[in-house]
A and B are shown apart, each in its own frame.
Chain A
Amino acid sequence: MSKVVDLLSILLVLGASAAFAVGVAALGERRDLAAIYWLAIGALVLRAAVELLRPRSSSR
């Protein structure tokens, strides 16, 4: 199960960079709302990856 969570966190980081890439591309195509949406999605995905990696409640 731990390996699945590790794999999920890797996929989330890759997904975050993909979302950032789509956001920057949308910025270039003058689609500002879509750019903000995808950048926010990227930030959320990255936050999820961080939480999966090391939860804030964990004292380790």
Chain B
Amino acid sequence: MTAPGASPFVVPPRLRRSGGRPGALRALRERANTVLPGLYAWLTTVALPSVQRGAPGSARLSAFLALLALVAAPLFVHERPAIGRALGIFAFVGCSLLTWVLLGAGSVQNAGDPLLPALGAVAFTLYALGWGSLRPRDVVPEDAPNAIPGPPLQPRARPHPLSPLILGVILVSALVPVFLAFRVVESERALFAHAVAILSAILTITVGSRVALQLGQRRAQAPVAERLNAAAVPLALLALSFGLGFLWLVVR
């Protein structure tokens, strides 16, 4: 992700698909990776609570303004990127926050169906990722005027064929605590559970990605004996913890 208004990829005018201003439909289609998750997130977490009976009119108005900002942002991305980002990030998220504040905690929390807000949170994450700068399909980074010329750098090693699969399994397993945290009912406890789940997911993904990428990279790894010796202390502590846990189960 980059700062609003800034993009790491400088696209020369000659490499752009067309010099003209894109139409509204085309702009929406090009930003579909942002608009669709944003629309889903708005629908599940902003629109549904604000159309409930008893919701204040101001909350409905701010929800509508959030939708307007979401749809209008892609129209400005090409011509006025700063305005596009201001609408898409600050106006949309700000109006959504304002809607939640105006609705109050009782209306926003959907205790009957915790899955929907969870999916909305995932959609908001995808929406945030969509606002990162991606390389356009027809732009070659080496053709940019600020690219350093020279022969392309070759990778020192190729990843193991199983690395993507292992990384995928680790990613899915790391997300399990995040989804389990939505099952916690009490608000204070739920907040702590979410914090713990996100921290554990970050740690698991960080370590898991290293494990998956280091697979089969013999040159980068220490000798097996050294690796086992280094892991001996945490493994011994682990065995001790399991022993204490078993003892606790027996004594209780």
Contacts and interface: CB of A to CB of B under 8 A. Distances in A.
Interface of A: 1-2, 5-6, 9-10, 13-14, 16-18, 20-21, 23-25, 27-28, 30, 37, 39-58, 60
Contacts of A57: 226, 230
Contacts of B238: 41, 44-45, 48
Given A39-B196, A53-B214, A58 B222 contact: yes
A20 B181 CA distance: 11
Contacts of B189: 27-28, 30
A35 B13 CA distance: 57
B183 A28 contact: yes
Contact of B220 (A24, A45, A60): A60
A10 B200 contact: no
Contacts of A10: 166, 170, 211-212, 215
Interface stretch (B99-107, B144-152, B171-179): B171-179
Contact of B207 (A37, A50, A55): A50
Interface of B: 166, 169-170, 173-174, 176-177, 180-181, 183-185, 189, 192-193, 196-197, 200-201, 203-204, 207-208, 210-212, 214-216, 218, 220-222, 224, 226-231, 233-235, 237-238, 241-242, 245
B227 A51 contact: yes
A28 B207 CA distance: 26
Contacts of A41: 238, 241-242, 245
A17 B221 CA distance: 24
8 tightest A-B contacts by CB?
Answer: A55-B230, A20-B200, A48-B234, A58-B222, A28-B184, A17-B173, A51-B231, A51-B230
A9 to B, nearest CB: 5
Most chain B CB within a 10 A radius of its CB, from A1, A18, A47: A47
B180 A21 contact: yes
Given A25-B183, A48-B238, A53-B211, A13 B226 contact: no
Contact of B184 (A16, A17, A27, A60): A27
Given A5-B227, A13-B173, A48-B235, 7 more contacts: A16-B203, A17-B173, A17-B176, A24-B177, A27-B196, A30-B189, A39-B196
A27 B193 CA distance: 7
A5 B204 contact: no
Contact of A21 (B177, B185, B222): B177
Nearest to A43: B203
A55 B229 contact: yes
24 contacts: A5-B224, A10-B212, A13-B208, A13-B211, A16-B207, A21-B176, A24-B197, A24-B200, A27-B189, A27-B192, A27-B196, A41-B242, A44-B237, A45-B238, A48-B231, A48-B235, A51-B231, A53-B207, A53-B214, A53-B221, A53-B227, A54-B221, A56-B230, A60-B221
